[in-house]
Structure 1
Amino acid sequence: MGSLAASIRYENLIACRKLLADARISDVQRQMLLRLLTEEKTKYFHEETSSRSMIGALGNDNKNS
């Protein structure tokens, strides 16, 4: 994970999933949570991919030295 922001996003993903599992929430709340979940997933996985790319690039730089 690496960064504080990614850790917070991961925790947000867990919280959204728990709230979505609650049968007592309204359709409006469910739609809002689904939108937020989608946004958080996008941010989280984008950061994960970026981190892996950066680590891979660093590894390639070390091989060329």
Structure 2
Amino acid sequence: MTTRPSADTTDGLMWLKSSYSSNEGPDCVEIADSTGAVRVRDSKNQQGPQLAFGRAEWSVFVSYAADRT
């Protein structure tokens, strides 16, 4: 997996989308590292809601997800 920058950076964050995501699939998310949190949004609704996770919680999630692939 690689990441690539999103076209929309109007909020000042550098959003990254996984190379596994495509514009046709329903499972497209982007992440951005912000002060004190990792933000997650739907890549097809970039102006929509975002989730924010603490770095420790995000690290646990990524480790858990990596073990499941």
TM-score (norm 2): 0.30
Choose between structure 1 and 2: higher helix proportion.
1
Greater Rg over alpha carbons, structure = 1
Higher relative contact order (CA 8 A, sep 6+): 1
Choose between structure 1 and 2: higher strand proportion.
2
